[in-house]
Every structure is written in structure tokens, then in C-alpha cells.
Structure 1
């Protein structure tokens, strides 16, 4: 194969997220070039891209060989392999022989043959939705469904939801059709990394999805689990409401972290008739700041949160003003703006903090 570096290196970089992390697994930790297609595959998903040149024999580039190709100077690159899986890389005066991997062990995921549904979503809307909910996907193995993003189309709206048991976030995209599936977090992150395109096409069955993102093709397993009743979790009319300036509130929360010298802390919100006092305390310092705002039925009310959960929820709202609804000291706080909703569970504290 003879190919310009600019034609292959960016695609290798974008496929890197699908290469297995461990060399000890059943799937080789490399990238397969078969004809004019390069593919990276792991236990959950695979990502493929077309190349403007072809390999004569299926060849698996080890991770170090991929890194070598990416480091080469601009210009024409030659990639050759033999029957012993030895790979020869050439570029200008550079020649390097590298041990390849066994192509027969690259077991690829199969595109759904009879998908239950197919959809096409404007890429910008999908990327923004995933970006806004990704922070609430669980990093713990508590419940399989919480390790992914729930896509739930109810006829006129595509609801995109994430929940980790401590916070939940729900955003929407207009879309006709009815379907639902749970996309693994790693697949959602990969979609975000694959560059600009006008639309994303998805075909999904009960267990797998085929996704086209521009010149990239992805096949991913879906999470076989039931998701929470997210619509029921969000109250339609919480009784208490606070309207605060977003920037001043975020600045106060970040200063509280600095003042307490912690990566995260317990934040207390105390409401008066015309102000909210944001405070925090640790063994090495404390902090308090008053933020003016408009408050309904909150005089004398106080509630505590994990600082990072509260900051994550607030920063994803694209608005100068922040509206937070409360139903009680031990009930989730709810935020909503232009079809974007977030819930954050409070924490129990002793009196004070």
C-alpha cells in the first residue's frame, strides 16, 4: 500500500478509542487493514473507515506501529506485510520492520441484518445532546443501564437521558418515530470524537447498532437493561423555586472549593427572602458568600449538595440565569431550561454542615 500520511494518520488517530487496552485479551490490540478499510475493534464496538488505497493481505498493525506511522514526516508512506505477519513501513529514507498481529483473531461485530428502526439525526444536535448528558453516565458498575445513554423516541421527540444514581439529565431533539435503546458510554464518546458531519445515521436492533458518522462506520453492542422511569422522576411543578445568576453562582461554588482546599466538598445553600448564602467548611478552611436572586417559598429553607454534582449540572445550562426547583431537603433539586432538565440528589448533613 502506498498512501499519503494525511490520508491515513488522522483516521488511525480517530480509531484509537476502539483498540483494546490490554494486550492479554482475546482481541488483538491493534488495527486491521483489510483491502481499503481500516478497523479497530474491542469487546463492545468497532469503528471502520475507508482508505484511498488497499492492502493486498489483511494486516493488523500493532499499537506501536500505529504510533510510528503517526510520527512519520509528511509525504508518501508505504505499508507492506508478509505471510509471517511482519509489517514493513517506509517513508523517504525511513525503513522499519515491525511485528504484526494475527489477523485471524480479529473477530468483527456484525451489522444488524434486520434492524428494528433506522433514524437520521442532525449531527450538531446529537453531538450537543450527548455532550450535555455524558457527565451523568455512571462510572461505577451499579446498574448496567446507568453505564450508557438512553435514547427514547416517543413519536414526536427523541429523549436522551443519563443517570448515575446521584444525578440525572434529560434533553430532547425533535424526531418522529418510536424506539428506545441504551448506547454504551464508550460508543457515545467515540461518536463525539469522529469529526464533523451533517447527519448521523443509526440502525438498531435489540442488541446492536450500526452508526454512520461521515466517513466512519461504527458497530456497537447495546446495553440490555431497563432504564429508570425518568419522566416520573422529574416533578411537573415543584413547589419552591430559586432564580439565580448563573455566572455568579458558578464563581461562588468554585471559590468554595478553593477556600476549603478540596477537589469536592459539601455545599450548603441557605435561603432568605432576597439572598442565597452559599457556604462550605473543611478542616483547613471555610467559605460563605451571598448571592442575590428571586425566591419563591424558600425563606428559611436550606439544602446541601456534593459540590461537583451541583457544578456539573449548572455549567451545562446555556443561559445567563439559573432556575432551580426544590421539593424538600431530601428530594432532588430540579433545573430546567429550553428542553434541558437536570436532577441532583442532595446529601444529608448534620446541622450547620
Structure 2
């Protein structure tokens, strides 16, 4: 019996929204499938890794209401490699048949009741936020999230909604990224939570319009563009990040972001592949940066810069500096430095007072 037909491009778009959550390896093979449902005039796809559930749908009048499990990545492969304009799904005894032009694919039907039930959307706190604003805040800090599993809280992004600010923070212990948007602050009671970064993988690159957010103490739900993402939150506590933000600034360096970034790339050619050390010499009308390799190679360059403060040398991980430069949006970048052994506060020129976006970077010992 013919189940439903759908335009191939739309089918590919729907499946691509949910497939990224499917784990490549898991002791639970059932979650390598996606739950395909036709009910209430909609076609929906649901996938999970047991921590995050992703569901997406489109309006469709199927021949019958039904639920079946289909192998997620294989189904996406069938759809992507097909050159047909439309794809037809037919049920035949214990098999599902997919017809695409002259191609026919047959797959066994698995019991849909074995698939885990999706988390219910939390109801404790609910609000809407502009999708572009939320994505912009997230993208400014994501790179600083810890990759290690020894401190689980730091593998997520700290989302702080209080004091009339919408702020996200990420840190791996060596660097910290802080981004906020004061124009997109929901009117709710103050709260904070640690978000798994994976939930943002399901945002469209060019998301437009509001995102409906719902949360409680253990879960968060995001609804947008006929898609729902419900995820467990990461358990805290999160480090007291405000404690490490310098309060008294003694030395201020201002330099062209483009010129500094370009020079950094040149200096990186001769760095130690482990420490990636870049040395900055402060105290002149020009900024001197240099690097040295274990093989005895060295590189030096002077840049025009403005500097107010004491004369000293300091070193940073060049790769971390480049990461930060990619997220500075102003022509000039400012380093507020307390000393050679203290974290540098790095931000765009003219943005410190608003604290819209700033970064902290710990120095490394000079070789």
C-alpha cells in the first residue's frame, strides 16, 4: 500500500535536520534509526542520542497514519544520491519500499515502539528570543569550550539571563570567551544553565525569526522553523567566571586587528608545535612580536601600535590568539594587561564599556 509521496529536496532537508544527532557508535543500535511518523496531517522525523531529541515536520496528507523506524544515515544517503524529483514510500508486509525514479530500495520495518520516547518540552520557564541574536552570541564563544571530559561543566556553554543581560560564557581553563546582547533580553526571573554545545548544531545557518525557549532545572527545549530540540542540561556548578575578570588595568595595548592577525600567521611558522608560543615585547611605540622553534629558527616583526603602561615581555599561545582575532569585529583590537603572569582582557576597540564581547587569555611561561 502506498504510504506517502514527497518532493525529494524537501525530504532531504527534513532528514538532514535530525541525522546529526544520531551517534556513530552506540551500545543501543535502535537509536541509529529515525522514527518516521504520519499523523494529524503531518510527516515528522525524530532522532536522538538519548541526551538530545530532535524532531522536525512538514504538512502532508498521507494515505494512512503510521509510525516506522528507518535507518537514518542510509535513508539520507538514498535521498541525497537520487536524481528523482519525487520519492514514494510504500508499505508491503514487513518491508518499506522507497521508489525514486527507476531506483527501488527495500528495508525491513522495525518496531516503532522500541524507539525511546521524546522528552516533553519543559514548562517551568518559557520565553522567545531572536534567532539571529542567539546564534551570534553562541558563535562568539563556542571555540573556547573545553574538549576534556574531566570537568563536564566546562564542556558546555554557560547561559546567564540576569541583570538585564543575555550572556553566554565558555572556558577551557586557558582562555575564556564572553558574549552578550543587551537588546535581546527575555523578561523572566533570573536564571542560568549550562547548555550542551550540540544543541546549536540544529540551528539553520541563516536562522530568521524568533526561537521559543522552554526550560526547567534539568532540560531545555528550543522550537523554531517546524523543528523542536529538547536536551538535557549539563550539571553544574559552573566556575565563577567573573572572579577572574581583571578589575584594575595597568597596561593597554591597541593595534590593528588585521595587521596583528597577519603578523601572527607569519610568526606561527616558527613556533614550537606544542606550546605555539608567541612573544610580545611591550613598552615601545611599536609592538614587537617574535617566535622561536626547537630547531633554532626564529622570526621577529614590528607593528605600529599604541601602548600605555610598563615595559615587559609576555607570551601567549598563538593558536588561541588567532581564534580570538577571528571573533573581534572592530578594526583595532585592545589588550588590557595587568602583568606578564595575569590573564589579558582582549576586546574590540570601543566595546569594553558595553562588554558586548570580550575574551580572557592566560599567558604561558617564556621559553
Q: What is the TM-score normalised by the length of structure 2?
A: 0.88
The answer to whether structure 1 residue 210 and structure 2 residue 221 are counterparts is: yes
* Aligned counterpart, 2:101: 92
- Please list, as runs of the form range in 1=range in 2, the aligned pairs for 1:7-86 lying within 5 A after superposition: 7-22=10-25, 24-25=27-28, 27-35=30-38, 36-53=43-60, 54=62, 56-62=65-71, 63-82=73-92, 84=94, 86=95
Secondary structure of the structure 2 residue equivalent to 1:183: strand
* Aligned counterpart, 2:357: 340
The answer to whether structure 1 residue 287 and structure 2 residue 299 are counterparts is: yes
Give CA deviations for 1:38-93 in whole Å, capped at 9, x if unaligned.
11111221111112334643122212122112221141211234563x32110222
- Report the aligned-residue RMSD: 2.0
The answer to whether structure 1 residue 121 and structure 2 residue 124 are counterparts is: no
Secondary structure of the structure 2 residue equivalent to 1:268: strand
Distance 1:272 1:155, change over 3 A: closer
Q: Distance between the aligned counterparts of 1:208 and 1:83, measured in 2?
A: 39
Q: Which of the residues 134, 141, 145 maps onto 2:142?
A: 134
* Aligned counterpart, 1:150: 158
Give CA deviations for 1:272-300 in whole Å, capped at 9, x if unaligned.
3212211111134321111111111132x
Where do 5+ consecutive residues of structure 1 fail to align? none
The answer to whether structure 1 residue 302 and structure 2 residue 309 are counterparts is: no
Contact 1:20/1:27 (<8 A) preserved: no
Secondary structure of the structure 2 residue equivalent to 1:298: coil
Secondary structure of the structure 1 residue equivalent to 2:164: strand
Contact 1:136/1:164 (<8 A) preserved: yes
Where do 5+ consecutive residues of structure 2 fail to align? none
Q: Distance between the aligned counterparts of 1:70 and 1:59, measured in 2?
A: 21
Q: Distance between the aligned counterparts of 2:303 and 2:326, measured in 1?
A: 17
Q: Distance between the aligned counterparts of 1:106 and 1:194, measured in 2?
A: 29
Q: Distance between the aligned counterparts of 1:101 and 1:245, measured in 2?
A: 60
Q: Which of the residues 217, 220, 242 maps onto 2:253?
A: 242
Give CA deviations for 1:137-156 in whole Å, capped at 9, x if unaligned.
11111211111111111141
Distance 1:276 1:101, change over 3 A: farther
Distance 1:23 1:226, change over 3 A: closer
Distance 1:264 1:10, change over 3 A: farther
